Amino acid sequence: MLLFTLKRFGLAICVALTVSAISFGLLYMAGDPAVAIAGENASSVDIAAITAQYGFDRPLLVQYADWLGGALTGDLGRSWYFDLPVTQIVTDRLGVTVTLGALAISFALILAIPMGVAAAVRPNSLIDRAALFLSVVGQAIPSFWFGLILIVVFSIKLGLVPASGSASWKHFILPTVVLGYYATPAIMRLTRAGMLEVLSADYIRTARAKGLDTRKILFKHALRNAIIPVISLAAVQMGFMLGGSIVVESIFALHGAGYLAWESISRNDLPVMQALILVFSMFYILFTFLADLLNAWMDPRLRVG
């Protein structure tokens, strides 16, 4: 078990390395980073000075090796824009994004799982149709548009919640809804499909033949099995959410990692972008890894040889 955890961990590292190499190549290949550092009003003199200072005249591979060496010791370089250690900036912003991501995935799960179960228990019923309809409609609403509409309705018209910022829990309500609703259809559908499949499984028939009551059949026997793929999906979705928080954070002016990413893109702050891509991918890898462990705990078939 330990050996395989290690192997899995090694694989995760390889994935992270590949992602970082690809992104480094992409980012540093395009354009002269010195101009980005110098900023909008900088003169030509400034730019030449910066090129020399940061060593952008060196081969890309050397620059990557340099970066990687630093990254391994936790030093992700300095932000060209803030001139602060990237590690500091990113960890500073991550809190909001992780909070938002956790809230959003919880929102999605709390909404989607009961809906999926209800839909599966009575296929083709009104509940099922409503759930399917919601999921189809939900998938088709662009989140940026949805966010703006929510601001107009709930913040401006009704004045119930603040439009932007992250000062209190109230500030998180709208972003959570916008970020969470997008994952809801997928989770709902998987729960429904899983439940449908499980409910027609032989062991559910066995459970019914044992005379167990419906609640026990649904929640002890069926949901436990149906939820296993949902865990994996939720992990993947959570990883996506962190990356997808860019749009939401920029609309709601949440100063999280997503907003930082967007801003870094518009100001060409490559070390921060590079670090964020790495961090987001690490999160994704971490979540899927945890989901695998959780699944192993839930499903003894995966656990014991």
Query: Whole-number minimum distance, CB 285 to another protein, in Å?
Result: 6
Minimum CB separation of residue 186 from another protein in Å reads 10
Residue with smaller CB distance to another protein, 108 or 281: 281
User: Smallest distance, Å, CB 84 to another protein?
Assistant: 7
- In the complex, the smallest distance separating the C-beta of residue 77 from another protein, rounded to whole angstroms, is 15
- Smaller CB distance to another protein: residue 14 or 61? 14
**Residue 108 or 295 having the CB closest to another protein:** 295
Smallest gap from Cβ 237 to another protein, in A, equals 11
* Closest CB 294 distance from another protein, rounded Å: 13
Q: Which is nearer to another protein, 101 or 107 (CB)?
A: 101
Nearer to another protein, 79 or 191 (CB): 79
CA pair distance 281, 90, nearest whole angstrom? 14
Of residues 23 and 176, the one with the C-beta less far from another protein: 23
